[in-house]
Structure 1
Amino acid sequence: MTKKSIFIILLLFCSSLFGQKPITVSSPDGLLKYRLNVTKEEIKYSVSYKGKDLIEDSRLGFNFQSGEFGSDLKIGKIIEQEIDETYELVIGKVRNARDYCNQVTIPLEEKSKSGRIINLVVRAYNDGIAFRYVFPEQENWNSYVMYDEKTQFHLTGNPQSLFMYLPGYINSHEALYTHIGYEDIEEGKLIEMPITFEYSEGVYMSITEAAIRNYAGIYLTKSSNVLEGKLSPKLGQEKIKVVINEFPHQTPWRVMSISDHLETLFETNILTNLNEPCKLEDTSWIRPYKTTFTWWNGNVVPDSTFSPGNNFETNKYYIDFAARNGIDLHGIYGYAETPWYYDDNFNFGWPGENVDVTKPIPCLNLPRIINYAQSQGVGLHVWVHWKALYPKLEEAFAKYQQWGIKGLMIDFLDRNDQEMILIQEEFLKVAAKYHLFVQFHGASKPSGLIRTYPNEFTREGTLNYEVYKWDTVINADHDISIPFTRMLAGSTDYHLGGFRAVPRSKFKIQYTNPLVTSTRCHMLAMYVVLENYLTLLCDKPKAYEGQAGFEFLRKVPAGWDEIKVPHAKINEYLTIARRKGNDWWIGTLNNSTERKLKLPLQFLEKGEKYIAEIYTDADDVDVDANHLNFQELEVDLNDVIELPLASDGGAAIHIRKIEIE
């Protein structure tokens, strides 16, 4: 049930007053403040927390084809709102969320003859600040061609900064992370968001964006010690970023999650708060899934009477594995680099002129696979290249629904310009019409749209475990950066499930049967730490069955009701506890430094007893990284569990309530 309480106060100020006195928006607890200064020459804002400026004198404005916007402005009627609303997420890191903030709408009107008006909307939460630009209907202006959005973030001091450089606007949003002081960030390089900062005073801030719709995605670059927004340009040129043909219109939100408790950056619901409510009338068909994904392991099958490939027998082998172990789905992508559908180019990355995603290749025998999977209670999802899919969107999705397909991985998007943002939303809309979930690969970060379109299960946008197949750069030190950056934007696909772990010194590149360099317990923990509503089990069946820890993967949920963060230190370690029903699932990730942590169980329900199933790194993981220790303990909220974490290690715990009959 949604409860909404909105209190609106209208205040009229003359423009001369605002030229002298800043407009201030404070969070409900009064600790966060957004201040706007409007002078004849420019618009600038600052953000402070507990009286300390984090962002100062940062410019706002635009450069349109019709001229710049940002000087010689007057202020119209300001609308102040207190928003207090609860809502339920169909899928998400919590079941119920609260949207509680103070909002101010500030009309900015040019004094010139054109009289263009843009409303600046600011929200101050207890855990962050967000602002966006709204273009209302008006007599003399109803469309624009935008060359630049001039939003800046001028940080104070020299906070430690964790972020990803990118080579250009067309990219897969995958790279290693850099952890340096703000002053050492290179000027002119493109930076992906989220970007996370740790101030010397023990305050944390992460900058990203929310509700990216009919607009270009934004990056950052550093210029004269200021971070400036850089919109992704329209394809084939660099000047035009956004074209809008009708008002009203609004930009995405520019979001700063802020707290002196690092765990708040994980627990906040600010991104879904800033998105519209669910647009789907019927969501009864939507639930998180676990699935096989055979591409990662190389479609490995045992020595037998058939060869691996695009055939019924290979898929039957994995469907049988899924059925035996309660895995919801089997993923069909094809074999080697050849898709499951007809493609005259026979290449994953570049569809041919005559590609047809509605025509399975004959040797696959898809009808037989569909019938067999249904007989075993296993669903199917398929891989497609977006360029092959988009021209036949309605036809393909209608056919997939007819076949009983549950959803699809849409790959190689590699852009976040306005056109691609619109295409992605179209994928979600049409997929929902045919009861299909969407998993975006080779794609930009999420922005909280899971509230509006809960069939957007996950996105990649990470340099992840697929890279083990061809490079040596992935390890636990990279893994630990992901939750503090990319995952702060939402659901994170990471090709989890490699169950053949070796110490770094013994790692070798294997495209088929790839190895991983973190411990077995580290891998188990990733299934809890990473938010992801389509959980992949990427290894071969023989790597799992009979192996220590596989029972944890069989039982761990893919969707959640509540989140708590007992431990967090940027780029060192992280513990996340997630609740589903009465059970808690806990994952702890460690970097390459061995350590011990103590886990208090204060998040458990008072007066209740629980059984904790605890998986920790064995003493000899430096020899065999697959070894682990397992124990069961009776616990309650007063207990503390000791977690010995090996180098590249982790821990995983399942806590279930003792039901008294």
Structure 2
Amino acid sequence: MMKHLIRAGSLVLVATNLLYGQANSLKSPDGKLVMTFSLDSSGPMSTEGSGRLQYAVTYHGKPIIDASALGLDLDDKMPLGENVKIRDTKESSGTDDYPLLFSKVSHVHDAYNSMSLTVQEASDSRGRGLTVEARAYNSGVAFRYLLPVQGGSSDLHLRDEETEFRFSQDDTAWVLALPNYRSSYESEYVRYNLSALSNQGGVSSKFLIGLPTLLHQPGGAWMSLMEADLEGNSSAYVTNPTGSWAGHMFRVKLSPRWDDPYYAVTGTLPHHSAWRVLGVADTPGALIESNLQTDLNPGNRVHDTNWIKPGKASWNWWVDNVNQNGDSGNKQFTTETMKYYVDFAAKSGFPYFFLDAGWYSGDITKMNGKVDIPELVKYAATKNVKVWIWLYSTSVMAQMKEAFPLYEKWGVAGLKIDFINRDDQEGIQFFYDVGRYAAEHHLMVDFHGCHTPWGIMRTYPNVMSYESVLGLENNKVGRRDSPVDRAVFAWTRSLVGSMDYTAGAFDNQTEDSFVARNASPQVMGTRAQQLALYVVYENPVPMVSDSPQNYAGEAAAAFQFLKDVPTTWDETHVVGGEVGEYSTVVRRHGKEWYLGSMTNWTPRDLNIPLTFLGSGNFTAEVYEDGSNAATQPKQVNIRKISVTATSSLNIKLAPGGGAAVRFIPGR
């Protein structure tokens, strides 16, 4: 056995020539993560120097991913990767350095080491082959497949991937189990051990799991399973196929095409898959802080971004079109009622009003007479407010080229596109087509009823936000959204960024007093928690969802925080919490810092060091649960205190409670 040690910058590549294969290891810049590629020669078709392509990952020298298969199912042949020889390896290092617009940080600087591993099928005289491109960052590892022209053919017919994640232990996972490939990703993240996803009391079973997924190795690493750069591909799900109560693995399942579900991706070669992304850290908060997903997406394609402006918005749908007289319902869906929401936005200092469904019938280029959008836009302009409009996705697919130039002419600021409910290859292409064509017509985009984010906002920064969460709207019809769910979403859905949860409800109730209702909707949890959501959750265009009347009177003092809180950030740090229990997040905008903390139904006393503040004196404006908030959840205590980086902040969180803090530097 002979070893060769090759150094390239900070990369260390160990190439070991074995009798039945080769092993190639890639290290993160800090050396804590090691990703190793090798060939498994134990298969019946393996020959000398060939085998199944696989990889493994260690963190701090401890296994987190055991040997796991790599490969692609192409056409009707044996999976490509089942019996291959390693033909070439190339290694390099680099740094992702770029501004990140309208996000949790304003600038990213992430170093990585990379490797390209080219393999060729041992038994194929035509030389079927592929390249695995891998990167190791300090915050995780990622890989994707590069497919060249195969045997003189440029046709691509990809059925699925053979990609596995064989976790070294029966990790704890918070998973988004979905019913099929046509959902809106709006469900609970449920805590399971990996083996439970394959076997229920001795009965083999399967879950279709959407990404992202949060995992914790007992006594070890925290991990996030994600995907990035989906252009030209379908989305990936994972499932545990073992059927065994001892099995703890995931296998990738690609969303099938709607027109031909036998295939997931068709087209021409060469082709690259999406990135399979494994975030790895010592704490779950570090996964939230990571920019690994946007690192792996193409850079900004919108050359002039000056017209893209983040900011908060008033909204008519949550409160069923309540007008200035307190009347509600469809009869109030009129131009005059919508002017009332424009006036409220202007008075509050919000730059936007989101007009929801009901202004057209079928044809998205023709108004149905209920709301005159050009008139509303013109009126809003006199108040220094701009208007977003709601659209049904299938109508956008059919009429995008006709409608977007018209909306630009009307002066519309952005589009809320709803009920997409697909992430097959054509569905994913729809996101890119909308992002590109909307940018050409100076339109921002908020996707609803859709796949979770995968980093497209770096490529098209006019794509501002996504729903893909079990949001506040569920309080109108049932009890599915509560402080319990919110305490989980802070660690799971938040892994992939912007989330249009539609917070801001001020008719706050205890768990027992809450009543689900469409008119005058209520929400479980305290008012201070609703304030905290604007810091804990990331969204550059958040709605302030409740009726303008509910922010007046005694509520006005607490509403001041919603006027003040920014929507984009220069820094983000998770400074405390426990998955599914509570979360404390701080974010910096310019020289000011903001803190949001929230809990499930368990009350908590927190002592939060303020070391993140840096030098200087600050005034902390604290909005926290009142002393009686456990039974009177609308009660908010507001106080101002002088603090420095050596101070600690003591806050009490009521059941379903929260706290929101603005730190203003001294002059």
2:332 alignment counterpart: 309
Normalised to the residue count of structure 2, the TM-score between the two structures is 0.92
Match of 2:567 among 558, 571, 579: 558
Cα 1:91–1:303 change in 2 (3 A) is closer
Correspondence list, 1:204-243, <5 A:
204-224=222-242, 225=247, 226-243=249-266
Letter of the 1:578 partner, please give it. Answer: R
Cα 1:368–1:157 change in 2 (3 A) is same
Q: Does 1:573 align with 2:572?
A: no
1:658 alignment counterpart: 666
Match of 2:606 among 585, 597, 602: 597
Structure 1 unaligned blocks of 5 or more: 1-5, 344-354
1:265 alignment counterpart: 287
Deviation at 1:57, TM superposition (A): 1.6
Cα 1:12–1:619 change in 2 (3 A) is closer
Q: Does 1:191 align with 2:215?
A: no
1:101 alignment counterpart: 112
Structure 2 unaligned blocks of 5 or more: 1-7, 41-49, 199-204
Letter of the 1:467 partner, please give it. Answer: N
Correspondence list, 1:18-57, <5 A:
19-39=20-40, 40-57=50-67
2:46 alignment counterpart: none
Letter of the 2:264 partner, please give it. Answer: K
Q: Match of 1:420, SS? A: helix
Q: 1:395-431: CA deviations, max 9, x gaps?
A: 2111111111110100110010001001111011000
* Separation (CA, whole Å) in 1 of partners of 2:447 and 2:255: 18
Q: Does 1:64 align with 2:83?
A: no
CA RMSD between the two structures: 2.0
The answer as to whether partners of 1:7 and 1:83 remain within 8 angstroms in 2 is no
Match of 1:76 among 87, 100, 106: 87
Q: 1:300-326: CA deviations, max 9, x gaps?
A: 124379985332210111111111110
Deviation at 1:8, TM superposition (A): 10
Cα 1:305–1:164 change in 2 (3 A) is closer
1:117 alignment counterpart: 129
Q: Quick check: 234-243 or 633-642, which moved more?
A: 234-243
Match of 1:410 among 404, 413, 417: 417
Letter of the 1:430 partner, please give it. Answer: Y
The answer as to whether partners of 1:517 and 1:648 remain within 8 angstroms in 2 is yes
* Separation (CA, whole Å) in 1 of partners of 2:523 and 2:82: 55
* Separation (CA, whole Å) in 2 of partners of 1:19 and 1:214: 36
1:615 alignment counterpart: 623
Q: Match of 1:223, SS? A: coil
Correspondence list, 1:305-454, <5 A:
308-334=331-357, 339-341=358-360, 343=361, 355-454=362-461
Match of 1:296 among 318, 324, 327: 318
2:5 alignment counterpart: none
Deviation at 1:113, TM superposition (A): 1.1
Deviation at 1:84, TM superposition (A): 2.0
The answer as to whether partners of 2:315 and 2:341 remain within 8 angstroms in 1 is no
Q: Match of 2:459, SS? A: coil
The answer as to whether partners of 2:10 and 2:113 remain within 8 angstroms in 1 is no
* Separation (CA, whole Å) in 1 of partners of 2:12 and 2:654: 59
The answer as to whether partners of 2:15 and 2:22 remain within 8 angstroms in 1 is no
The answer as to whether partners of 1:116 and 1:140 remain within 8 angstroms in 2 is no
Q: Percent identity?
A: 32
* Separation (CA, whole Å) in 1 of partners of 2:647 and 2:418: 45
Deviation at 1:138, TM superposition (A): 6.3
Q: Quick check: 626-635 or 75-84, which moved more?
A: 75-84
* Separation (CA, whole Å) in 2 of partners of 1:304 and 1:416: 40
The answer as to whether partners of 2:213 and 2:225 remain within 8 angstroms in 1 is yes
Stretches of 4+ aligned residues off by more than 6 angstroms:
8-14, 304-307
Letter of the 2:142 partner, please give it. Answer: A
* Separation (CA, whole Å) in 2 of partners of 1:562 and 1:613: 19
* Separation (CA, whole Å) in 2 of partners of 1:614 and 1:429: 42
* Separation (CA, whole Å) in 1 of partners of 2:343 and 2:444: 23
2:488 alignment counterpart: 481
Q: Does 1:531 align with 2:538?
A: yes
Normalised to the residue count of structure 1, the TM-score between the two structures is 0.93
Q: Match of 2:489, SS? A: coil
* Separation (CA, whole Å) in 1 of partners of 2:308 and 2:354: 17
Q: 1:459-491: CA deviations, max 9, x gaps?
A: 111111110010112110011111211110121
2:273 alignment counterpart: 251
1:346 alignment counterpart: none
Deviation at 1:359, TM superposition (A): 1.1
Letter of the 2:272 partner, please give it. Answer: Q
Letter of the 2:32 partner, please give it. Answer: L
* Separation (CA, whole Å) in 1 of partners of 2:60 and 2:426: 41
Q: Match of 1:154, SS? A: strand
The answer as to whether partners of 2:14 and 2:24 remain within 8 angstroms in 1 is no
* Separation (CA, whole Å) in 2 of partners of 1:233 and 1:306: 43
* Separation (CA, whole Å) in 2 of partners of 1:58 and 1:287: 44
2:44 alignment counterpart: none
